[in-house]
Amino acid sequence: MSQGAAGGSRAVARCDLLARPPYSSAADMLFRAYLTPAHAAALETIAVWMREAGMTVHIDAAANLIGRYDGIDPAAPALLIGSHVDSVRDGGAYDGPLGVMLGIEAVAALAAAGRRLPFAIEVIAFGDEEGSRFPAAMLTSRAVAGTLERMPFDMADADGVTLGAALGLFSLRGHGGMRGAARPAGSTIAYLEAHIEQGPVLEAEGRAVGTVTGIAAQHRYQVVVEGLAGHAGTASMPLRRDALAAAAEMVLAVERVARAAASDLVATVGKLEVAPGAPNVIPGRVAFTIDVRAGEADRRDAAAAAILGDIRAIADRRGVELTSTLIHDLPAAPSDPMLMDLLDEATEAAGQPVRRLVSGAGHDAMIMASLCPTVMLFLRCAGGISHNPAERVDPADAEIVLAVMLGFIDRLGERFA
Protein backbone atom coordinates (compact mmCIF):
# COMPACT_ATOMS: atom_id res chain seq x y z
CA MET A 1 0.00 0.00 0.00
CA SER A 2 1.43 3.40 -0.90
CA GLN A 3 1.28 6.47 1.30
CA GLY A 4 1.32 10.07 0.17
CA ALA A 5 3.88 12.62 1.23
CA ALA A 6 1.75 13.80 4.15
CA GLY A 7 2.21 10.66 6.26
CA GLY A 8 5.75 10.36 7.58
CA SER A 9 6.54 14.03 7.09
CA ARG A 10 3.39 15.04 8.93
CA ALA A 11 4.30 12.70 11.80
CA VAL A 12 7.66 14.46 12.18
CA ALA A 13 6.03 17.91 11.99
CA ARG A 14 3.54 16.97 14.68
CA CYS A 15 6.37 15.87 16.98
CA ASP A 16 7.99 19.26 16.40
CA LEU A 17 4.76 20.99 17.38
CA LEU A 18 4.48 18.92 20.58
CA ALA A 19 7.97 20.02 21.63
CA ARG A 20 6.72 23.55 22.39
CA PRO A 21 4.37 25.04 25.02
CA PRO A 22 1.66 24.29 25.98
CA TYR A 23 2.87 20.74 25.34
CA SER A 24 6.06 21.40 27.31
CA SER A 25 6.18 22.61 30.91
CA ALA A 26 9.12 24.89 30.08
CA ALA A 27 9.40 27.64 27.49
CA ASP A 28 13.11 27.10 26.79
CA MET A 29 13.20 23.31 26.52
CA LEU A 30 11.02 20.21 26.16
CA PHE A 31 9.86 18.70 29.42
CA ARG A 32 6.59 16.80 29.45
CA ALA A 33 6.11 14.71 32.55
CA TYR A 34 3.29 12.33 33.38
CA LEU A 35 -0.01 13.80 34.63
CA THR A 36 1.04 17.43 34.18
CA PRO A 37 -0.80 20.19 32.31
CA ALA A 38 1.64 19.70 29.43
CA HIS A 39 0.73 16.01 29.31
CA ALA A 40 -2.98 16.86 29.35
CA ALA A 41 -2.53 19.39 26.52
CA ALA A 42 -0.66 16.84 24.43
CA LEU A 43 -3.37 14.22 24.90
CA GLU A 44 -6.07 16.69 23.90
CA THR A 45 -4.34 17.51 20.62
CA ILE A 46 -3.31 13.94 19.82
CA ALA A 47 -6.92 12.87 20.40
CA VAL A 48 -8.01 15.31 17.68
CA TRP A 49 -5.47 13.78 15.27
CA MET A 50 -6.68 10.28 16.13
CA ARG A 51 -10.29 11.21 15.42
CA GLU A 52 -9.30 12.85 12.14
CA ALA A 53 -7.58 9.58 11.18
CA GLY A 54 -10.85 7.68 11.67
CA MET A 55 -10.50 6.36 15.22
CA THR A 56 -12.71 6.41 18.27
CA VAL A 57 -10.80 7.71 21.28
CA HIS A 58 -10.71 7.22 25.03
CA ILE A 59 -8.36 7.66 27.99
CA ASP A 60 -7.86 4.63 30.21
CA ALA A 61 -7.45 4.45 34.00
CA ALA A 62 -3.69 5.07 33.75
CA ALA A 63 -4.08 8.18 31.56
CA ASN A 64 -3.02 6.39 28.39
CA LEU A 65 -4.68 7.80 25.28
CA ILE A 66 -6.08 5.07 23.00
CA GLY A 67 -7.49 5.44 19.50
CA ARG A 68 -9.30 2.44 18.03
CA TYR A 69 -9.90 1.60 14.37
CA ASP A 70 -12.29 -1.34 14.26
CA GLY A 71 -11.61 -4.45 12.23
CA ILE A 72 -14.03 -6.19 9.88
CA ASP A 73 -15.57 -7.72 13.00
CA PRO A 74 -16.01 -4.95 15.60
CA ALA A 75 -15.43 -7.52 18.34
CA ALA A 76 -12.08 -8.61 16.88
CA PRO A 77 -8.95 -8.41 19.05
CA ALA A 78 -6.52 -5.60 18.34
CA LEU A 79 -3.05 -5.02 17.03
CA LEU A 80 -1.60 -2.39 19.36
CA ILE A 81 0.72 0.23 17.86
CA GLY A 82 2.22 2.63 20.34
CA SER A 83 4.95 4.38 22.24
CA HIS A 84 5.17 7.04 24.95
CA VAL A 85 4.51 10.79 24.97
CA ASP A 86 6.34 11.78 28.15
CA SER A 87 9.89 13.13 27.96
CA VAL A 88 13.02 13.53 30.01
CA ARG A 89 13.93 17.05 31.07
CA ASP A 90 15.45 18.97 28.14
CA GLY A 91 14.71 16.03 25.89
CA GLY A 92 14.27 15.55 22.15
CA ALA A 93 11.06 15.83 20.16
CA TYR A 94 10.95 12.32 18.67
CA ASP A 95 11.82 9.89 21.46
CA GLY A 96 8.43 8.26 21.95
CA PRO A 97 5.93 10.59 20.24
CA LEU A 98 7.14 9.70 16.73
CA GLY A 99 5.99 6.10 17.23
CA VAL A 100 2.54 7.34 18.23
CA MET A 101 2.33 9.77 15.30
CA LEU A 102 3.38 7.05 12.81
CA GLY A 103 0.71 4.75 14.24
CA ILE A 104 -1.88 7.46 13.64
CA GLU A 105 -0.61 7.91 10.08
CA ALA A 106 -0.85 4.16 9.42
CA VAL A 107 -4.50 4.18 10.46
CA ALA A 108 -5.14 7.34 8.43
CA ALA A 109 -3.79 5.57 5.33
CA LEU A 110 -6.04 2.56 5.91
CA ALA A 111 -9.09 4.74 6.52
CA ALA A 112 -8.40 6.83 3.42
CA ALA A 113 -8.33 3.61 1.37
CA GLY A 114 -11.52 2.36 3.03
CA ARG A 115 -9.72 -0.73 4.33
CA ARG A 116 -10.48 -2.81 7.41
CA LEU A 117 -8.34 -5.65 8.69
CA PRO A 118 -9.38 -8.96 10.28
CA PHE A 119 -8.30 -7.34 13.57
CA ALA A 120 -8.78 -3.91 15.07
CA ILE A 121 -5.89 -1.48 15.31
CA GLU A 122 -5.42 0.52 18.47
CA VAL A 123 -2.87 3.31 18.70
CA ILE A 124 -1.79 3.87 22.29
CA ALA A 125 0.06 6.88 23.69
CA PHE A 126 1.59 5.72 26.97
CA GLY A 127 1.82 8.43 29.61
CA ASP A 128 4.85 7.36 31.61
CA GLU A 129 7.82 5.51 30.14
CA GLU A 130 10.72 7.72 31.17
CA GLY A 131 9.93 7.89 34.89
CA SER A 132 10.78 11.60 34.80
CA ARG A 133 8.25 12.58 37.46
CA PHE A 134 7.72 9.69 39.86
CA PRO A 135 10.50 7.31 41.06
CA ALA A 136 9.49 4.46 38.76
CA ALA A 137 9.48 4.01 35.01
CA MET A 138 6.98 2.47 32.58
CA LEU A 139 4.11 2.77 35.04
CA THR A 140 1.46 3.05 32.35
CA SER A 141 2.54 0.14 30.17
CA ARG A 142 2.76 -1.94 33.34
CA ALA A 143 -0.82 -0.99 34.04
CA VAL A 144 -1.93 -2.05 30.55
CA ALA A 145 0.04 -5.30 30.70
CA GLY A 146 -1.41 -6.06 34.14
CA THR A 147 2.00 -6.28 35.84
CA LEU A 148 1.63 -3.58 38.49
CA GLU A 149 2.18 -5.47 41.72
CA ARG A 150 0.34 -2.90 43.80
CA MET A 151 -1.25 0.50 43.47
CA PRO A 152 1.66 2.90 44.13
CA PHE A 153 -0.58 5.82 45.07
CA ASP A 154 1.76 7.01 47.84
CA MET A 155 4.70 7.43 45.43
CA ALA A 156 5.60 11.16 45.39
CA ASP A 157 7.32 13.46 42.92
CA ALA A 158 10.03 16.01 43.79
CA ASP A 159 7.37 18.48 44.94
CA GLY A 160 5.74 15.96 47.26
CA VAL A 161 2.69 15.40 45.02
CA THR A 162 1.65 11.76 45.23
CA LEU A 163 0.67 9.64 42.26
CA GLY A 164 -2.80 9.28 43.75
CA ALA A 165 -3.23 13.05 43.98
CA ALA A 166 -1.94 13.53 40.43
CA LEU A 167 -4.40 10.95 39.10
CA GLY A 168 -7.13 12.75 40.99
CA LEU A 169 -6.30 16.00 39.23
CA PHE A 170 -6.64 14.06 35.97
CA SER A 171 -10.09 12.88 37.19
CA LEU A 172 -8.86 9.27 37.17
CA ARG A 173 -8.61 8.42 40.88
CA GLY A 174 -12.09 6.93 40.89
CA HIS A 175 -11.37 4.28 38.24
CA GLY A 176 -10.46 1.61 40.78
CA GLY A 177 -6.77 2.35 40.41
CA MET A 178 -4.42 2.10 37.48
CA ARG A 179 -5.14 -1.62 37.30
CA GLY A 180 -8.33 -0.63 35.53
CA ALA A 181 -6.16 -0.10 32.44
CA ALA A 182 -5.22 -3.80 32.24
CA ARG A 183 -6.25 -5.38 28.96
CA PRO A 184 -8.38 -8.55 29.10
CA ALA A 185 -6.84 -11.83 28.01
CA GLY A 186 -7.27 -12.43 24.30
CA SER A 187 -7.95 -8.79 23.44
CA THR A 188 -4.49 -8.14 21.94
CA ILE A 189 -2.83 -10.11 19.16
CA ALA A 190 0.48 -8.20 19.04
CA TYR A 191 2.25 -4.96 19.90
CA LEU A 192 4.29 -2.95 17.38
CA GLU A 193 6.46 -0.02 18.41
CA ALA A 194 8.34 2.24 16.02
CA HIS A 195 11.06 4.25 17.76
CA ILE A 196 14.16 6.23 16.96
CA GLU A 197 17.23 4.05 17.46
CA GLN A 198 18.83 6.30 20.10
CA GLY A 199 22.14 4.93 18.88
CA PRO A 200 24.53 5.30 15.93
CA VAL A 201 24.37 1.90 14.20
CA LEU A 202 21.81 2.63 11.48
CA GLU A 203 23.35 5.96 10.56
CA ALA A 204 26.87 4.51 10.50
CA GLU A 205 25.69 1.80 8.10
CA GLY A 206 23.63 4.14 5.91
CA ARG A 207 20.33 2.45 6.75
CA ALA A 208 17.00 4.09 7.46
CA VAL A 209 15.35 1.26 9.41
CA GLY A 210 16.13 -1.85 11.41
CA THR A 211 14.19 -4.70 13.01
CA VAL A 212 14.78 -5.00 16.76
CA THR A 213 15.59 -8.52 17.90
CA GLY A 214 15.00 -7.74 21.54
CA ILE A 215 15.54 -5.32 24.40
CA ALA A 216 18.52 -5.69 26.70
CA ALA A 217 18.19 -6.95 30.25
CA GLN A 218 18.73 -4.16 32.77
CA HIS A 219 19.79 -3.86 36.39
CA ARG A 220 19.84 -0.49 38.13
CA TYR A 221 21.31 0.08 41.57
CA GLN A 222 21.23 2.91 44.06
CA VAL A 223 24.60 3.05 45.82
CA VAL A 224 25.42 5.06 48.95
CA VAL A 225 28.98 5.63 50.20
CA GLU A 226 29.31 6.88 53.79
CA GLY A 227 32.66 8.35 54.80
CA LEU A 228 33.51 11.07 57.30
CA ALA A 229 33.01 14.76 56.58
CA GLY A 230 35.84 16.99 57.80
CA HIS A 231 37.63 20.28 57.34
CA ALA A 232 39.44 20.44 54.02
CA GLY A 233 42.38 22.30 55.55
CA THR A 234 43.01 20.37 58.74
CA ALA A 235 42.29 16.69 58.01
CA SER A 236 45.51 15.01 56.88
CA MET A 237 45.38 12.90 53.73
CA PRO A 238 46.28 9.53 55.34
CA LEU A 239 43.47 9.85 57.89
CA ARG A 240 40.69 10.87 55.52
CA ARG A 241 37.63 8.77 54.78
CA ASP A 242 36.63 10.76 51.71
CA ALA A 243 33.34 9.44 50.34
CA LEU A 244 33.78 11.21 47.00
CA ALA A 245 37.30 9.94 46.39
CA ALA A 246 36.04 6.42 47.08
CA ALA A 247 33.03 6.93 44.80
CA ALA A 248 35.26 8.26 42.03
CA GLU A 249 37.31 5.08 42.13
CA MET A 250 34.10 3.06 42.09
CA VAL A 251 32.84 4.89 39.00
CA LEU A 252 36.03 3.97 37.18
CA ALA A 253 35.61 0.36 38.32
CA VAL A 254 32.14 0.30 36.75
CA GLU A 255 33.59 1.51 33.46
CA ARG A 256 36.49 -0.94 33.63
CA VAL A 257 34.24 -4.00 34.02
CA ALA A 258 32.02 -2.95 31.12
CA ARG A 259 34.94 -2.17 28.81
CA ALA A 260 36.59 -5.51 29.58
CA ALA A 261 33.49 -7.39 28.40
CA ALA A 262 34.06 -6.27 24.78
CA SER A 263 30.42 -7.05 23.92
CA ASP A 264 27.04 -5.33 23.90
CA LEU A 265 27.34 -5.03 27.70
CA VAL A 266 27.17 -1.44 28.92
CA ALA A 267 27.37 0.07 32.40
CA THR A 268 26.71 3.66 33.36
CA VAL A 269 26.90 5.91 36.40
CA GLY A 270 24.40 8.57 35.39
CA LYS A 271 23.61 10.33 38.65
CA LEU A 272 25.86 11.33 41.54
CA GLU A 273 24.99 13.41 44.60
CA VAL A 274 27.64 14.72 47.02
CA ALA A 275 27.06 15.89 50.59
CA PRO A 276 27.54 18.23 52.25
CA GLY A 277 28.62 19.83 48.97
CA ALA A 278 30.81 22.65 50.30
CA PRO A 279 34.18 23.54 48.73
CA ASN A 280 36.00 23.47 52.08
CA VAL A 281 34.47 20.24 53.44
CA ILE A 282 35.63 16.69 52.74
CA PRO A 283 32.58 14.88 51.31
CA GLY A 284 31.04 12.58 53.92
CA ARG A 285 28.32 11.01 51.81
CA VAL A 286 27.89 10.22 48.13
CA ALA A 287 24.92 8.60 46.44
CA PHE A 288 25.07 7.39 42.85
CA THR A 289 23.35 5.06 40.42
CA ILE A 290 24.71 2.15 38.42
CA ASP A 291 22.89 0.99 35.29
CA VAL A 292 24.01 -2.35 33.78
CA ARG A 293 22.57 -3.71 30.52
CA ALA A 294 23.23 -6.60 28.15
CA GLY A 295 21.33 -8.53 25.53
CA GLU A 296 21.32 -11.60 27.77
CA ALA A 297 20.49 -11.69 31.46
CA ASP A 298 23.37 -14.02 32.33
CA ARG A 299 25.97 -11.58 31.02
CA ARG A 300 24.24 -8.67 32.72
CA ASP A 301 24.16 -10.55 36.02
CA ALA A 302 27.81 -11.60 35.80
CA ALA A 303 28.90 -8.03 35.10
CA ALA A 304 26.74 -6.64 37.90
CA ALA A 305 28.22 -9.14 40.34
CA ALA A 306 31.74 -8.19 39.25
CA ILE A 307 31.00 -4.50 39.65
CA LEU A 308 29.48 -4.93 43.11
CA GLY A 309 32.43 -7.05 44.19
CA ASP A 310 34.92 -4.44 42.99
CA ILE A 311 33.22 -1.49 44.65
CA ARG A 312 32.89 -3.39 47.95
CA ALA A 313 36.63 -4.04 47.83
CA ILE A 314 37.25 -0.34 47.24
CA ALA A 315 35.01 0.57 50.17
CA ASP A 316 36.85 -1.85 52.48
CA ARG A 317 40.27 -0.57 51.42
CA ARG A 318 39.28 3.06 51.90
CA GLY A 319 37.44 2.57 55.20
CA VAL A 320 34.04 3.77 54.01
CA GLU A 321 30.61 2.19 54.38
CA LEU A 322 28.81 0.95 51.29
CA THR A 323 25.18 0.05 50.67
CA SER A 324 23.77 -0.97 47.30
CA THR A 325 20.10 -1.50 46.51
CA LEU A 326 18.67 -3.03 43.34
CA ILE A 327 15.93 -0.64 42.22
CA HIS A 328 15.22 -1.96 38.70
CA ASP A 329 15.39 -5.55 37.46
CA LEU A 330 14.13 -5.70 33.89
CA PRO A 331 14.51 -8.98 32.02
CA ALA A 332 15.58 -9.22 28.42
CA ALA A 333 12.60 -8.98 26.09
CA PRO A 334 13.15 -10.86 22.82
CA SER A 335 10.97 -9.89 19.86
CA ASP A 336 8.56 -12.46 18.45
CA PRO A 337 10.25 -14.41 15.60
CA MET A 338 7.20 -14.43 13.33
CA LEU A 339 6.63 -10.69 13.77
CA MET A 340 10.31 -10.01 13.05
CA ASP A 341 10.02 -11.99 9.82
CA LEU A 342 6.99 -9.94 8.77
CA LEU A 343 8.87 -6.71 9.49
CA ASP A 344 11.84 -7.95 7.47
CA GLU A 345 9.56 -8.82 4.53
CA ALA A 346 7.92 -5.39 4.73
CA THR A 347 11.35 -3.74 4.89
CA GLU A 348 12.48 -5.51 1.72
CA ALA A 349 9.21 -4.64 -0.02
CA ALA A 350 9.85 -0.98 0.84
CA GLY A 351 13.17 -1.22 -0.99
CA GLN A 352 15.30 -1.24 2.14
CA PRO A 353 18.00 -3.69 3.20
CA VAL A 354 17.14 -5.84 6.20
CA ARG A 355 19.10 -5.12 9.39
CA ARG A 356 18.47 -6.71 12.75
CA LEU A 357 19.83 -5.17 15.94
CA VAL A 358 19.33 -5.29 19.69
CA SER A 359 18.01 -2.36 21.71
CA GLY A 360 20.16 -1.26 24.62
CA ALA A 361 17.50 1.22 25.71
CA GLY A 362 14.38 0.16 27.54
CA HIS A 363 11.00 0.62 25.87
CA ASP A 364 7.34 -0.03 26.63
CA ALA A 365 7.62 -3.06 24.34
CA MET A 366 9.61 -4.90 27.01
CA ILE A 367 6.67 -4.54 29.41
CA MET A 368 4.06 -5.38 26.80
CA ALA A 369 5.88 -8.65 26.08
CA SER A 370 4.19 -10.09 29.17
CA LEU A 371 0.80 -9.44 27.52
CA CYS A 372 1.31 -10.40 23.88
CA PRO A 373 3.93 -10.99 21.16
CA THR A 374 5.91 -7.81 20.50
CA VAL A 375 8.23 -6.35 17.88
CA MET A 376 9.98 -3.03 17.36
CA LEU A 377 11.12 -1.09 14.32
CA PHE A 378 14.05 1.30 14.71
CA LEU A 379 14.38 4.53 12.76
CA ARG A 380 17.71 6.22 12.08
CA CYS A 381 18.37 9.37 14.13
CA ALA A 382 21.10 11.92 13.42
CA GLY A 383 24.33 11.08 15.21
CA GLY A 384 22.53 8.52 17.33
CA ILE A 385 21.67 11.43 19.65
CA SER A 386 18.67 11.13 21.96
CA HIS A 387 17.49 12.51 25.31
CA ASN A 388 18.87 15.77 23.98
CA PRO A 389 17.32 18.74 22.13
CA ALA A 390 19.73 17.98 19.27
CA GLU A 391 17.68 14.86 18.48
CA ARG A 392 16.90 14.87 14.74
CA VAL A 393 14.96 12.70 12.29
CA ASP A 394 14.85 12.93 8.50
CA PRO A 395 11.21 13.10 7.32
CA ALA A 396 12.20 10.89 4.37
CA ASP A 397 13.19 8.17 6.83
CA ALA A 398 9.83 8.54 8.57
CA GLU A 399 8.16 7.95 5.19
CA ILE A 400 10.13 4.72 4.82
CA VAL A 401 9.20 3.56 8.31
CA LEU A 402 5.53 4.27 7.62
CA ALA A 403 5.71 2.19 4.42
CA VAL A 404 7.28 -0.67 6.41
CA MET A 405 4.59 -0.43 9.09
CA LEU A 406 1.82 -0.56 6.49
CA GLY A 407 3.49 -3.53 4.82
CA PHE A 408 3.72 -5.25 8.19
CA ILE A 409 0.02 -4.62 8.86
CA ASP A 410 -0.91 -6.03 5.46
CA ARG A 411 1.13 -9.18 6.06
CA LEU A 412 -0.23 -9.66 9.55
CA GLY A 413 -3.73 -9.26 8.11
CA GLU A 414 -3.01 -12.07 5.63
CA ARG A 415 -2.00 -14.31 8.53
CA PHE A 416 -5.33 -13.68 10.26
CA ALA A 417 -7.53 -13.76 7.15
Q: What is the pLDDT of residues 34-57, one digit of tens each?
A: 999 999 999 999 999 999 999 999
Q: Is 280 annotated as a binding residue?
A: yes
Answer whether 314's CB lies under 8 Å from 225's CB.
no
High-pLDDT (> 70) share of the chain, %:
98
Q: Any idea which of 168-182, 303-317, 382-396 has the lowest mean pLDDT?
A: 168-182
| Separation CA 27–CA 31 (nearest Å) | 9
Which one has a higher pLDDT value, 180 or 341?
341
Task: Give the residue-averaged pLDDT of 341-364.
Answer: 94
Reported as half-sphere exposure (CB side, CA atoms, 13 A), residue 48 has a value of: 6
Go through the chain and tell me how many residues it has.
Answer: 417
Residue 1 banded pLDDT, cuts 50, 70, 90: very low
Q: Is 293 annotated as a binding residue?
A: yes
Task: Give the residue-averaged pLDDT of 265-282.
Answer: 95
Q: What is the pLDDT of residue 172?
A: 65
Please provide residue 55's backbone torsions phi and psi, each rounded to the nearest 5 degrees.
Answer: -105, 155
Q: Is 16 annotated as a binding residue?
A: no
| Separation CA 276–CA 281 (nearest Å) | 7
Residue 176 banded pLDDT, cuts 50, 70, 90: low
Task: Give the residue-averaged pLDDT of 250-271.
Answer: 94
Task: Give the residue-averaged pLDDT of 380-398.
Answer: 94
Q: Where are the beta strands (DSSP E) in 295-392?
A: 321-330, 333-334, 356-359, 374-379
Q: Where are the beta strands (DSSP E) in 50-169?
A: 56-59, 65-69, 78-84, 120-126
pLDDT of 2 above 70 = no
Residue-range domains of the chain with CATH:
6-216+332-416 (3.40.630.10), 217-330 (3.30.70.360)
Q: Is 95 annotated as a binding residue?
A: yes
pLDDT digits (tens, 9 = 90+) for 3-26: 444 799 999 999 999 999 999 999
High-pLDDT (> 90) share of the chain, %:
83
Contacts of 370 (CB under 8 A, 6+ apart): 145, 146, 147
Answer whether 323's CB lies under 8 Å from 224's CB.
yes
Q: Any idea which of 1-15, 113-127, 271-285 has the lowest mean pLDDT?
A: 1-15
Contacts of 150 (CB under 8 A, 6+ apart): none
pLDDT of 271 above 80 = yes
pLDDT digits (tens, 9 = 90+) for 199-243: 999 999 999 999 999 988 889 999 999 999 999 999 999 999 999
Residue 328 banded pLDDT, cuts 50, 70, 90: confident
Q: Is 175 annotated as a binding residue?
A: no
Mean pLDDT of the chain: 93
